[in-house]
Structure 1
Amino acid sequence: MNKPKLWTKDFLIVSASNFFLYFTFYLLMVSITTFATDQFHASPSEAGLASGIFVLGALVARLFAGRSIERVGRKKILYIGFIILLLTTLLYFIVNSLSFLFVNRFLNGVGFGVASTATGTIVASVIPNERRGEGTGYYALSVTLAAAVGPFLGMFLNQHVGFNMNFIVCSVLIIASFAAVFFLKVPKVVLTQGQLDNMKGFKLSNFFESKAFPIAIISAFVGFGYSSILTFLTAYSEEIHLVDVASFFFIVYAAATLVSRPLTGKWFDKKGENFVMYPSFILFAIGLLVLSQAHQGYFILLAGVFVGFGYGTFMSSAQAISVKVAPRHRMGLATSTFFIFLDAGIGVGPFLLGFFIPVIGYRGLYISMAIVVFVCTILYYFLHGRKATESKKFAEAS
């Protein structure tokens, strides 16, 4: 029996669009703090706010985009997101004050949150159910590659060309993606009158998909652990005099994810989510432990391999689970619920962890985060893993 086709025109378009979305996100994340400092003499905390307020805008947008996407239409929501993103990116050229920058960064995050929620929902609808894990894994590579290439190019352009070139590159990529999605065919979801009535009002169920809560809660804790790497790896590497090697951490992380993703996606579909989820927690925890004991450069690179196999696998698999457990007409809410919790963990992490670093140090921080991630293995078992095992046994017996 032939497997349904995965690599369709629509899958390629939405994956490429998502890559450019996250590429511009990561490129500006590493540029905007320096931009705020150099252009407006912002303090370190103000520069950090200029960077981080983007995530707040994305969180707010995901709440309302997930609620509205099926009523308004998936493709229309994607258009809206791209328009907001393009307009606010163009506004960077005329930003003339720190307060203007704050407002524009927030709105830029809104555009990103709307567009990325739409791409995540659309790709779930074009991936065949029989290849859910594999397809989501390949799609998630767009984020992995963007996380590796975006920061590198952003830092290079800042050093050799200037801030405006960053804004030009982002504008061109957004326009190109916007043009491409016009050729995207999105499966329509016809809602019943009862489903439409249920989506009215400001009920919790209109902003979140309850069936996605278990995996979303776990994602918040895993994202919390990953935030320790995103935020403090540079400072840690400076403390242990391994800055040059640490700059290659995310390249190694991306390479490990690229190597493992095709296999883990197929295992997800053939053997079930538990087969890939339990090892992902353990490998991620090992990566954090290796990082905590880094005395030579190869420790950091080895940690990048384990984190790529662990966190990289978790990301795509958890997203696939959130869509798998949700009703088809609530895929948008399931996608936004997953990312809201994940982004919250990554966003809150740096603020809370910063209080512990003076007490336990960076090595203690990564040991603590390894424990948190390992505990997620137990949390996963009770919230989802044992149910997945029972469902698999029932399906095999049928």
Structure 2
Amino acid sequence: MKQSEPIWTRDFIMVVLINLFIFVYFYAFLTVLPVYTMQELGGSESQGGLLISGFMLSAIFARPFSGAVIERFGKKRMALLSVILFTLSSFLYIVIQDIYVLLGLRFFQGIWFSIITTVTSAIAADLIPAARRGEGLGYFAMSMNLAVVIGPFIALNLLDNISFTALFALFSGVVTIGILCTALVRIPKGNDRTSAVFKLSFSNMFEKGALRIATVGLFVSFCYSSVISFISVYAKSLGLIETSSYFFIVFAVAMMVTRPFTGKLYDKVGPGVVIYPSIIIFSIGLCLLAFTNSSGMLLLSGAVIGMGYGSITPCLQTLAIQASPKHRSGYATATYFTLFDSGIAVGSFVFGLVVSQTGFSNIYLFTGIFVLINLFLYTWSQKSALLKEEQNISIAD
């Protein structure tokens, strides 16, 4: 593959837009659902949290099966079906007024969220030239990072100006556009195979080649969960709640500035040149957060975390796909996100249990040090991959 082959084709743009719309919806609802539960449905904070965790648990549960489902029915077909069902279920928020029925809807929607995010990542990998996959998947991942800012920003700014019904209708309209984008995507020939058999086995739930690098992703996301789950509460405890609204803006800008360079560096020099420094930078950002006592330090930590974490995650996803057979990109993506999502879920739960005893500063100091374990885990994953490659060469000889 020549380096000059384009990444930003029409089909790649469509896939990026699908991912952007889905994650804008996801992060917007992450912000407003607890408020809606308490203000409109008369629920408690714990019930609001249950609506969030129910969605995530559903997505994690469905993720290992999504690779097999995609292989059985095809990427294009499952992309279209999952986006349609996700969109249709989003309109039901307008009419449902019961918390427990809403919880069932969240669980149902989480299944299709899992399949959408798996299949779009797999399609994106198929559309990107192999020689530029690190750079291309970095751009693709930026759509998720932009959504972290766009979704909550729109939702919170409209919350006091329009009704929840209008807000739900607006975001349902956003994901409806995703149906059109999905219909327009063309998948390269040979990358949308279907299987006549659907078996529940380890190989049909996980891709062995992606497991080790996905383990690195699990430990990275475990540490990152302390940021995404508690940064606003931490900022409030420091009297910096107004500044916290800019934290993820700075975070996203830092990622967008560094990602084009790190993606190209990944493709030209190799993943280690990006991943090792990024882990260290991520660690520094978490430690800065632990010692934050001013608005400037809070925003600086957001920028440093954005540079570190934002460079690690697309590299790990790229490695998971590259470590797997080409026709199993769906399985590799599902394996990576199963462990990655599990890290966020477990981390949020664990840190939520211990924060009252330890305090936020100690949590961030712990994660800042603990994330360095990924230096050794990444080395372990690559040594294993190298050994396997050498064995395959010797067998071929």
Normalising by structure 2, we get a TM-score of 0.94
Map 1:118-137 onto structure 2 (within 5 A): 118-137=119-138
How far 1:200 moved relative to its partner? Answer: 4.2
C-alpha displacement of 1:84: 1.4
Q: Could you say if the C-alpha distance between residues 313 and 190 of structure 1 is closer, same or farther in structure 2, counting changes exceeding 3 Å?
A: closer
Measured in 2, the distance between the counterparts of 1:276 and 1:389 equals 22
Pairwise CA distance, 1:388? 5.8
User: Could you say what the CA RMSD is over the residues aligned between the two structures, in angstroms?
Assistant: 2.1
Pair 1:303 & 2:301 matched: yes
Moved more, 213-222 or 285-294: 213-222
Q: Which residue of 2 aligns with 1:25?
A: 26
How far apart in 2 are the matches of 1:346 and 1:338? 13
Q: Give runs of aligned pairs for residues 176-215 of structure 1, distance below 5 A.
A: 176-189=177-190, 196=195, 200-215=198-213
| CA distance 1:148–1:389, change in 2 (3 Å) | farther
User: How many Å apart are 1:64 and its aligned residue?
Assistant: 2.1
Task: Pick from 257, 274, 278 the counterpart of residue 276 of structure 2.
Answer: 278
Alignment of 1:371-390 (within 5 A): 371-384=369-382, 387=385
Instruction: Show the counterpart of 2:43.
Output: 42
What do the CA deviations read for 1:319-372 (whole angstroms, capped 9, x no partner)? 111111110111000001111111111112111112221222110000000111
Aligned residues: 391
**Does the 8 Å CA contact 2:235/2:241 hold for their aligned counterparts?**
yes
CA distance in 1: counterparts of 2:3 and 2:360, whole angstroms = 51
Cα offset, 1:289, TM superposition: 0.2
Are the equivalent residues in 2 in contact too, given 1:27–1:166 (CA < 8 A)? no
1:40 counterpart SS class:
coil
Aligned-partner SS, 1:185: coil
TM superposition score normalised by structure 1: 0.94
Distance in 1 of aligned mates of 2:265 and 2:389: 16
| Distance in structure 2 (CA, Å) of the matches to 1:349 and 1:165 | 34
CA contact (8 A) 1:28 1:166 kept: no
Partner residue, 2:361:
363
Q: CA deviation at 1:309?
A: 0.6
SS state at 1:189 partner: coil
Shift in alpha-carbon separation, 1:8–1:240, aligned structure 2, 3 A: same
C-alpha contact 1:32 1:50 (8 A) present in aligned 2: yes
Q: What is the aligned partner in structure 2 of residue 235 from structure 1?
A: 233
Distance (whole Å) between structure 2 residues aligned to residue 215 and residue 113 of structure 1: 20
Matches within 5 A, 1:328-339: 328-339=326-337
Aligned match of 2:346: 348
1:57 maps to what in 2? 58
Unaligned runs of 5+ in 2: none
Matched residue type, 1:373: V
Question: What is the CA–CA distance in structure 1 between the aligned matches of 2:283 and 2:20, rounded to whole Å?
Answer: 27
1:227 alignment partner AA: S
> Gaps (5+ residues) in structure 1?
none
Counterparts in 2 of 1:85 and 1:361: CA distance versus 1, 3 Å: same
Provide the C-alpha distance between the structure 2 equivalents of 1:267 and 1:2, rounded to a whole number of angstroms.
Answer: 13
Aligned to 2:97: 96
Give distance in 2, aligned partners of 1:220 and 1:62: 14
Counterpart selection for 1:246 from 241, 244, 247 = 244
**Structure 1 residues 190 and 229: alpha-carbon distance in aligned structure 2, compared to 1, 3 A threshold:** closer
Give the Cα separation in 1 of the matches to 2:52 and 2:354.
22
CA separation in 1, counterparts of 2:387 and 2:255? 26
The whole-number CA distance in structure 2 between the counterparts of 1:10 and 1:24 is: 22
CA distance in 2, matches of 1:278, 1:86: 39
2:222 to 207, 220, 224: 224
- Relative to 1, partners in 2 of residues 1:351 and 1:330: Cα closer, same or farther, differing over 3 Å? same
Contact 1:274 1:385 in 2 (8 A): no
Give the ranges of 4+ consecutive aligned residues of structure 1 lying more than 6 Å apart after TM superposition.
389-392
Q: Residues 388 and 261 (structure 1 numbering): CA distance in 2 closer, same or farther, change over 3 Å?
A: farther
Aligned equivalent of 2:168: 167
> Quick one: distance in 2 between partners of 1:51 and 1:5?
38
The secondary structure found in structure 2 opposite 1:6 is coil
Answer yes or no: is the 8 Å Cα contact 1:84–1:110 preserved in 2.
no
User: How is 1:131-150 mapped onto 2 (pairs within 5 angstroms)?
Assistant: 131-150=132-151
Using the TM superposition, name which of 125-134 and 156-165 deviates more.
Answer: 156-165
CA contact 1:144–1:254 (8 Å) conserved in 2: yes
Amino acid at match of 2:85: I
Q: Is the 8 Å Cα contact of residues 274 and 388 (structure 1) preserved in structure 2?
A: no
Structure 1 position 247, deviation (Å): 1.4
Equivalent position amino acid for 1:128 in 2: P
Partner of 2:287: 289
CA distance in 2: counterparts of 1:52 and 1:15, whole angstroms: 26
